[in-house]
Every structure is written in C-alpha cells, then in structure tokens.
C-alpha cells in the first residue's frame, strides 16, 4: 500500500514503488539491439534538467550520444567497456562553468568559482545529482543502466570527442538501453557501516569489512565468478598505489583551478 505523509498542510501519497526501484538497483552490462524511443529519451533528460543545483547555478549539462561510432570511441576511452558501444544511448554528464561564465559576463561580472577547489566539488556534487535523476528516470521507464566513471581515464580524449569548450569537464557517463541480461542483486556492506547516528562510528568499520569480504566472495561464486576477489582486495587494486589518472592536468587545461 502507498504510504501517506503530511506536506505543507496536505496529505500526500508517497508511492513505495520509488523506494523499491532504488533498493533494486542493478548495473546492467548487456543490452539488446533495440533503440530507446525519442519520447523516453526526452523524459529522462527532462528529469535531470529539473534536478537541483547549488545556488541554482545550473552548472551541469548533459551530452546525449547515440552515434554508434562515437559510442565505440567512448568505449575505448573508458578502458575497453563494450557495453558502452552496445547500449543505444550514452549520456555524458558535464560540469559546465562555460554556461555560468557567459551569464556572469552578461551581468558585467567576472567568474571566479572555477578557479577554486570548491567550484570543482560543487560541480561534481551537482553532476552526481543529475546522474541519479537520469538513472531513476530511465529505470522508472523500464530501461537498464550502468554508470561509467571510466571516461575520466582519458578526460582530454572525451573533451575532444564531445567538442567541450573551456570551463567544462566530463565527470561521469551513463549507458541506457533495454537489458539483455539482468544481473542478480549484489550484496552491500552492512547498513551500520553506512548509517552513523550523530557522529561517525569508526570502530564499526573493520568488522563490517571482514564480514563483507566473506559475503561478496560467496556472491561471486554463486553468480559463476569463482575468481572474484574480496572487496578489500579490489579496493587495494583500484584505490591503492597505481598509475594516476590525468584528471588534474585535464581540469587545468580546461581552465579550472588556475
């Protein structure tokens, strides 16, 4: 049954379908050879267009990529992810201080926010909000998605491919299409490692990681990946010492942090 809450003096029905949709998130990496309709695509974009932004700056833009050759190139840039070329639609979510700089200039001002770390964080946060809106809208229409951070492996190549002007930066991408294969729901670390009451509870983390390492290895075995590693080992590989991504250099070339 739908839940009901009071909002601005009125009783409002809140559909549990939205919460169920969020809790059933799956990243899909196999897509049917079938287009996403223009009507669906427009609805998804409009949902992200209405997403909130800091100061109403609207410093996020979305580049919709449907051209097969361009998607194939993005798959290469992202480190060889074939589902990018396979999915019929790819969204590139872009920090866009070019747009705001034009507005500031029209008001005879000088924009400074892109020179500060706060500007990068602010843009990345708002890009993440837009990404979530794209994901929820797409899944609400029965489509499948997978977010793609790999476009930051070579941000300059993405900038060139999408012809992004100075003061813009491609933060994250999203594949959207019709699922060919639906993956089993992946387990998460125990909720107390995520939810902290009043203050951060650091003492909970080691035990939560140990338990999750065992759980995720068992999950990999169940889904036919017996070589799948523990979460801590994966994090050591992805987040530990290794070849750095050229994000800072590309940001500065685009006029950020200068």
* C-alpha distance from residue 215 to each of 8, 103, 185 (Å): 44, 51, 13
Report yes or no on 4 lying in a domain: no
Whether 237 and 123 map to the same domain: the answer is no
Tokens, residue 236: 């050591």
99 has pLDDT over 80: yes
pLDDT in tens, 183-198: 899 999 999 999 999 9
Whether 139 and 48 map to the same domain: the answer is yes
CATH number at residue 99: 3.40.109.10
Rounded to the nearest 10°, the torsion over CA 79, 21, 59, 158 is 10
Q: What percent of the chain has pLDDT over 90?
A: 86
Q: What integer pLDDT is reported at residue 6 of this predicted model?
A: 54
Q: What integer pLDDT is reported at residue 240 of this predicted model?
A: 86
pLDDT in tens, 118-157: 999 999 999 999 999 999 999 999 999 999 999 999 999 9
Predicted TM-score (pTM) of this structure: 0.92
Structural domain count of the chain? 2
Could you list the residue range(s) of the whole structural domain that residue 202 is in?
A: 184-241
Q: What DSSP element (H or E) covers 233?
A: helix 231-239
Percentages helix, strand, coil for the chain (3-state, rounded to 5) are 50, 15, 35
Whether 192 and 229 map to the same domain: the answer is yes
* C-alpha distance from residue 246 to each of 121, 241, 250 (Å): 17, 15, 6
């Amino acid at each position: 049954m739908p839940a009901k809450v009071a909002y601005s003096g009125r009783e409002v029905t809140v559909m549990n379908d939205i919460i169920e949709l969020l809790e059933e998130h799956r990243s899909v990496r196999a897509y049917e050879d079938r287009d996403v309709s223009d009507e669906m695509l427009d609805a998804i974009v409009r949902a992200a267009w209405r997403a909130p932004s800091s100061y109403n700056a609207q410093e996020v833009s979305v580049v919709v990529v449907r051209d097969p050759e361009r998607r194939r190139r993005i798959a290469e840039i992202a480190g060889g992810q074939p589902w990018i070329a396979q999915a019929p639609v790819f969204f590139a979510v872009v920090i866009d201080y070019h747009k705001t700089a034009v507005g500031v200039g029209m008001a005879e001002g000088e924009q400074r926010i892109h020179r500060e770390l706060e500007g990068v964080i602010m843009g990345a946060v708002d890009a993440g909000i837009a990404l979530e809106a794209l994901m929820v809208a797409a899944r609400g229409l029965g489509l499948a998605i997978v977010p793609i951070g790999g476009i930051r492996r070579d941000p300059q190549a993405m900038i060139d491919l999408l012809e992004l002007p100075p003061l813009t930066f491609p933060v994250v991408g999203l594949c959207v299409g019709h699922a060919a294969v639906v993956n089993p729901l992946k387990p998460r670390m125990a909720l107390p490692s995520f939810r902290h009451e009043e203050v951060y509870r650091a003492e909970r983390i080691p035990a939560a990681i140990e338990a999750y390492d065992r759980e995720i290895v068992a999950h990999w075995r169940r889904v036919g990946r017996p070589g799948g590693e523990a979460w801590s080992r994966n994090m050591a590989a992805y987040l530990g010492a290794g070849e750095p991504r050229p994000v800072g250099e590309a940001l500065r070339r685009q006029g950020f942090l200068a």
